[in-house]
């Protein structure tokens, strides 16, 4: 409850500032001596970095220069009815661009290691950060001095090897976790977070814009080319998989994909999901062969099989991730994370209008979305004054947009903790310079239909009525963090 009140206060404060004509003079940051701590715990508040001045968690800020209230402008009643009211479990990153241990500039790709560590590419800082979603601690980083271009996505193989894509040089960098007892070139012991560079991959494969990447349980690598609208598969050693024949285009010559990066593998059902960004839809291919399956998610199909009808997505579809039998898809322009039930055959080939009759029960394959559009759109590069305020530090994106208000979200990844049973969903919140992490248990409770909740309340009331040893009403316990 305190968190909700805090977010409400922040939203009201930010909106009031948006419509004032006063412009505060940007203040230069005062740097302090010393280094950032090697491990930090962050939630909604920015990190306390010794290289930057301390900031109150949710203090009023100068009005962002002529910024439009993005959240209000993108409100769509038909889509808003599908909202899943859930708050992030944790937020990682200071919420501002910087080079400190807990700063991002900017996060793009996210992936989990087999033991549950969260790896996130930090593009302009040319590094990969390591976080623990269970303890909310920043563990370390790797990649300094290795990356040559703009790093984008990341994927982790079953043996722990991490592949990081570079969309400028069109190749991938391979890193391996250190083995027990390993030492560096100077004979110093390597820590568990000291990933070692193992060379590059795919530099000779002719990619035009290598972005999305995924690795299946057999170690086979799937690489997505956004410009060529193609998906290629490689063996664990980096060689081309001769058994892969991706069906790229229709008989008319038109490609099935139009701008692509997001990729997710559903091995249980033999499906490979690829986000077709410009079509605002997800296309489905055969996981083993690459053959197009004639299915799509997020829209209906016309007589030719092309997307038709009002899309579930407001615009470009970015990252994809699978947890259990649910598919999570990033709806970038709206700041929404869409949720689909892959166990329901009705999920395929249906548009927003088709799902309308199932909204109350949420039993038509589409479960709804969580997340909000940003209050301030820091992705707007035409607003030079706003960008300068961010650079100066007079406006902190992570405070102007409370946790859960996404600004150009991109990659998404999931991990299920075998010991505790919890599933974590991590999203790269790019223009807010942070990562947002949700728990499936929180999302699942929030998705429970209103009718079902009423039934549970009535049942509980009947079993434990007030006046017979029980207390009237429901008492909420504190969430364990």
Asked if the model's pLDDT at residue 47 lies above 50, the reply is no
What are 69-91's pLDDT values in tens digits?
554 445 688 899 999 999 999 99
Would you give the distance in Å from CA 385 to the centre of its chain? 28
Pick the CATH number of 2-21+40-463 from 2.120.10.30, 2.40.50.140, 1.10.150.120, 2.30.30.90: 2.120.10.30
More confident residue, 74 or 234: 234
Structure tokens at 222: 């799937």
> CA 230 to CA 154: how far, in whole Å?
18
Residue 476 confidence (pLDDT): 42
Say if CB 86 and CB 324 are below 8 A apart: no
User: What mean pLDDT value characterizes the chain?
Assistant: 85
What are 444-458's pLDDT values in tens digits?
999 886 445 544 444
Give the DSSP letter of residue 170.
T
The per-residue b/e assignment along 91-109, b for 16 or more CB within 10 angstroms, e otherwise, is: bbbbbbbbebbbbbbbbbb
Say if CB 224 and CB 273 are below 8 A apart: no
> CA 12 to CA 18: how far, in whole Å?
10
Mean local confidence (pLDDT), 41-56: 39
> CA 403 to CA 471: how far, in whole Å?
34
Please list, in sequence order, all residues whose beta carbon lies within 8 angstroms of the beta carbon of residue 282, skipping any fewer than 6 positions away.
262, 273, 274, 275, 276, 296, 297, 298, 317, 320, 327, 329
Q: How confident is the model at residue 4 (pLDDT cuts 50, 70, 90)?
A: low
> Would you call 178 exposed, middle or buried from its count of C-beta atoms within 10 A (0-12, 13-18, 19+)?
middle
Residue 449 confidence (pLDDT): 64
> Would you call 411 exposed, middle or buried from its count of C-beta atoms within 10 A (0-12, 13-18, 19+)?
buried
Asked if the model's pLDDT at residue 99 lies above 70, the reply is yes
More confident residue, 427 or 464: 427
Q: How confident is the model at residue 63 (pLDDT cuts 50, 70, 90)?
A: low
Strand ranges (E), 167-325? 171-176, 196-201, 210-215, 221-225, 230-234, 260-266, 271-276, 281-286, 292-297, 300-301, 307-308, 317-323
Q: Return the SS3 of 113.
A: coil
Mean local confidence (pLDDT), 123-144: 97
Q: Which helix (H) or strand (E) holds 232?
A: strand 230-234
Mean local confidence (pLDDT), 423-447: 97
Quote the pTM value: 0.82
Residue 448 confidence (pLDDT): 83
Structure tokens at 162: 């991490």
Nearest to 326 by CA among 258, 259, 404, 273: 273
Peptide bond into 106 cis (omega under 30): yes
Residue 77 confidence (pLDDT): 87
Structure tokens at 250: 């229709």
Say if CB 417 and CB 89 are below 8 A apart: no
Please list, in sequence order, all residues whose beta carbon lies within 8 angstroms of the beta carbon of residue 328, skipping any fewer than 6 positions away.
320, 321, 322, 337, 338, 339, 412, 414, 425
DSSP letter for each residue of 402-422? -TTB-SSEEEEEEEE-TTT--
What are 311-340's pLDDT values in tens digits?
999 999 999 999 999 999 999 999 999 999
- Strand pairing partners for 176? 196
Asked if the model's pLDDT at residue 287 lies above 90, the reply is yes
What are 375-415's pLDDT values in tens digits?
999 999 999 999 999 999 999 999 999 999 999 999 999 99
Residue 76 confidence (pLDDT): 80
Say if CB 338 and CB 332 are below 8 A apart: no
């Amino acid at each position: 409850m305190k968190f909700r009140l805090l977010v409400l206060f922040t939203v009201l404060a930010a909106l009031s500032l948006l419509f004032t004509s006063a412009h505060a003079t940007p203040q230069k940051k005062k740097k302090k001596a010393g280094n950032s701590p090697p491990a930090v715990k962050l939630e909604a508040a920015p990190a306390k970095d010794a290289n930057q001045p301390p900031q109150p968690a949710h203090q009023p800020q100068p009005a962002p220069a002529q910024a439009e209230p993005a959240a209000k402008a993108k409100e769509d009643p038909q889509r808003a009815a599908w909202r899943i009211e859930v708050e992030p479990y944790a937020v990682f990153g200071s919420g501002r661009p910087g080079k400190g241990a807990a700063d991002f500039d900017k996060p793009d790709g996210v992936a989990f290691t087999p033991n549950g560590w969260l790896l996130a590419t930090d593009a302009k800082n040319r590094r990969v950060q390591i976080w623990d979603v269970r303890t909310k601690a920043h563990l370390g980083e790797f990649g300094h001095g290795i990356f040559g271009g703009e790093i984008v996505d990341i994927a982790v193989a079953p043996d722990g090897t991490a592949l990081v894509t570079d969309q400028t040089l069109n190749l991938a960098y391979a890193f391996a976790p250190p083995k027990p007892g390993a030492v560096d070139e100077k004979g110093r012991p390597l820590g568990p977070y000291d990933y070692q560079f193992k060379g590059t991959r795919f530099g000779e494969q002719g990619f035009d814009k290598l972005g999305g990447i995924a690795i299946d349980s057999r170690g086979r690598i799937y690489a997505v080319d956004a410009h060529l609208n193609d998906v290629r598969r490689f063996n664990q050693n980096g060689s081309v998989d001769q058994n892969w024949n991706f069906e790229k285009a229709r008989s008319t010559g038109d490609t099935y994909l139009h701008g692509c990066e997001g990729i997710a593998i559903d091995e249980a059902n033999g499906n490979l999901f690829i986000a077709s960004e410009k079509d605002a839809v997800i296309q489905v291919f055969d996981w083993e062969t690459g053959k197009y399956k004639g299915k799509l998610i997020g829209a209906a199909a016309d007589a030719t099989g092309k997307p038709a009808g009002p899309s579930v997505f407001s615009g470009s579809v970015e990252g994809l991730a699978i947890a259990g039998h649910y598919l999570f898809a990033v709806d970038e322009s709206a700041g929404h994370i869409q949720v689909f039930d892959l166990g329901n055959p009705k999920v395929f080939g249906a548009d927003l209008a088709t799902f309308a009759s199932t909204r109350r029960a949420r039993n038509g394959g589409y479960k709804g979305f969580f997340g909000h559009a940003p209050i301030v759109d820091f992705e707007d590069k035409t607003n030079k004054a706003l960008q300068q305020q961010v650079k100066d530090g007079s406006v902190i994106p992570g405070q102007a947009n409370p946790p859960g208000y996404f600004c150009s979200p991109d990659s998404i990844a999931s991990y299920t903790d075998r010991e505790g049973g919890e599933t974590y969903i991590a999203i790269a919140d790019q223009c807010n310079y942070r990562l947002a992490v949700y728990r499936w248990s929180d999302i699942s409770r929030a998705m429970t239909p209103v009718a079902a909740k009423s039934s549970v309340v009535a049942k509980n009331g009947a079993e434990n009525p007030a006046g017979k040893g029980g207390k009237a009403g429901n008492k909420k316990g504190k969430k364990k963090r």
